[in-house]
Structure 1
Amino acid sequence: MEFEKELEVTETNIPGLLVFDLSVHDDNRDWFKENWQKAKMTALGLPTDFQWPIPLEESERSEADLHHPILKDAKPMVLRRTLVTGANGQLGRAIREYVQEHGFEGFEFTDIDEFDFSDPAAYAQIDWSLYGTIINAGAYTAVDKAETPEGRAGAWKANAQGPALLAKTATEHNLTLVHISSDYVFDGVAQVHDEEEPFAPLGMYGQTKAAGDIAVATAPKHYILCSSWVIGDGHNFVKTMISLSDRVADPNEALEQVTVVDDQIGCLTFTQDMARAIFFLLEREVPYGTYDLTLSRDNVSWAAIAREVFAQANGNAQAVAPINTEEYFANATVPVSPRPAYSTLDLAKIEETGVEPSDWRDELHTYVAAARKGSGRA
Structure 2
Amino acid sequence: MTKELAVHTTDIPGLLIIDLPVHGDNRGWFKENWQREKLVALGLPDFGPVQNNISFNAARGTTRGIHAEPWDKFVSVATGKIFGAWVDLRAGDSLGKTVTVELGPDTAVFVPRGVGNSFQTLEDNTAYTYLVNDHWSADAQGEYSFLNLADETVNISWPIPLEQAELSEKDKNHPRLADIQPVQPAPLLIVGAGGQLGKELQRQLTEQNIPFIAAGRAEIDLANPSAWVDRYRWRSMRGIINAAAFTAVDDAETPEGRRAAWAANATGVSALAQVARDAGIPLVHFSTDYVFDGTLPVGQKYAETDPVSPLGVYGQSKTAGEFAAQGAPRHFVVRTSWVIGDGKNFVRTMQSLAERGINPAVVNDQFGRPTFTQELATAALHLLDSGAEYGIYNVTNSGPVISWADLATQVFELSGHDGGRVSPTSTAEYFANVETFAPRPTNSALSLEKIAVAGFTPRSHEEALETYLREH
- Cα deviation for residue 70 of structure 1 reads 8.5
- What SS class does the counterpart of residue 198 from structure 2 fall into? helix
Residue by residue over 1:212-270, the C-alpha shift from the partner in whole angstroms, topping out at 9 and shown as x without a partner, is 0000011111111100000001111111111111233xxxxxx4x42110010100000
- For 2:326 and 2:162, the matched residues in 1 are separated by 55
One-letter amino acid of the counterpart of residue 458, structure 2: P
- More contact order relative to length (CA 8 Å, sep ≥ 6): 1
Give the one of 452, 457, 468 matched to 1:351: 452
Aligned pair 1:263/2:365, yes or no? yes
Residue correspondences, number: 315
One-letter amino acid of the counterpart of residue 161, structure 2: L
1:114/1:331 CA distance change after superposition, 3 Å: same
- For 2:344 and 2:162, the matched residues in 1 are separated by 70
1:67/1:341 CA distance change after superposition, 3 Å: same
1:215/1:54 CA distance change after superposition, 3 Å: closer
Give the one of 428, 431, 440 matched to 1:329: 431
- Cα deviation for residue 339 of structure 1 reads 0.4
Structure 1: segments with no counterpart, 5+ residues: 3-51, 249-254, 372-378
Aligned pair 1:114/2:216, yes or no? no
1:316/1:61 CA distance change after superposition, 3 Å: same
- What SS class does the counterpart of residue 294 from structure 1 fall into? coil
C-alpha contact 1:260 1:306 (8 A) present in aligned 2: yes
Q: What residue is the counterpart of 1:218 in the other structure?
A: 327
Q: What residue is the counterpart of 1:247 in the other structure?
A: 356
Give the one of 192, 196, 221 matched to 1:90: 196
Aligned pair 1:320/2:422, yes or no? yes
1:339/1:121 CA distance change after superposition, 3 Å: same
Q: TM-score, length-normalised on structure 2?
A: 0.62
Residue by residue over 1:34-67, the C-alpha shift from the partner in whole angstroms, topping out at 9 and shown as x without a partner, is xxxxxxxxxxxxxxxxxx974426988799x988
Query: What is the 5 A alignment of 1:1-378?
Result: 54-56=159-161, 72=177, 76-105=182-211, 107-122=212-227, 123-190=229-296, 191-248=300-357, 255=358, 257-332=359-434, 334-371=435-472
Q: Which deviates further from its counterpart, 124-133 or 303-312?
A: 124-133
- For 2:158 and 2:343, the matched residues in 1 are separated by 65
- For 2:259 and 2:159, the matched residues in 1 are separated by 71
- For 2:203 and 2:182, the matched residues in 1 are separated by 28
Q: How much identity, in percent, do the aligned residues show?
A: 41
Larger Rg: 1
1:71/1:289 CA distance change after superposition, 3 Å: farther
- For 1:369 and 1:62, the matched residues in 2 are separated by 63
One-letter amino acid of the counterpart of residue 281, structure 1: L
C-alpha contact 1:118 1:163 (8 A) present in aligned 2: no
More helix by share: 1
- What SS class does the counterpart of residue 179 from structure 1 fall into? strand
C-alpha contact 2:187 2:210 (8 A) present in aligned 1: no
Q: TM-score, length-normalised on structure 1?
A: 0.77
- What SS class does the counterpart of residue 266 from structure 2 fall into? helix
One-letter amino acid of the counterpart of residue 221, structure 1: R
1:319/1:171 CA distance change after superposition, 3 Å: same
Q: Which runs of 4+ in 1 moved over 6 A?
A: 58-63, 65-68
C-alpha contact 2:186 2:237 (8 A) present in aligned 1: yes
C-alpha contact 2:235 2:281 (8 A) present in aligned 1: no
More strand by share: 2
- For 1:169 and 1:93, the matched residues in 2 are separated by 23
One-letter amino acid of the counterpart of residue 227, structure 1: T
- Cα deviation for residue 315 of structure 1 reads 2.6
- What SS class does the counterpart of residue 412 from structure 2 fall into? helix
One-letter amino acid of the counterpart of residue 115, structure 1: I
- Cα deviation for residue 74 of structure 1 reads 7.3
- For 1:66 and 1:101, the matched residues in 2 are separated by 38
